[in-house]
Structure 1
Amino acid sequence: MVSMTSKPSRDMVKQIESKLEKCRNQEFNPNNEAFQRKMRDLEEDDDMQQLQLYQQNSDEQIQMEEDIITTNG
């Protein structure tokens, strides 16, 4: 049944591909600047979250050490 259909011409395939390219969301195209910018922003956000977590843990550690010093001192 499938073998009874004719193959589309090369020009037809190129036209369809160009239409699909125009319809594609460029934020999901790894070759597009919008995608690359989005990925950089996500990486920066992740770095910022890790820095904030480190700062929070550091502050908690300092507070625990101060509590130990005042309890024993």
Structure 2
Amino acid sequence: MKRSPADEHRLQWRKSSHSQGGSGNCVETAYAPALGVLIRDSKNVHGPVLVLQPQAWRELAATVKQNCPRL
């Protein structure tokens, strides 16, 4: 089985407070200093992990907030 970058670190995964009690379609994020911001599907915690540099994460979050104002 292929190991993900998340397997190598003790990470503190976080989910948005907007996700609590919702449809279950959630993502979780964690920060690993040597890697950047990690993103995974909360229903598949052993699945693939997307790794973004902090600046790319900030830009993604700003774009989502701008285009989805109810979030």
Structure-1-length-normalised TM-score: 0.28
Name the structure where strand makes up a greater proportion of residues.
Answer: 2
Which structure has the bigger radius of gyration? 1
Question: Which structure carries more relative contact order (alpha carbon 8 Å, separation 6+)?
Answer: 2
Structure-2-length-normalised TM-score: 0.29
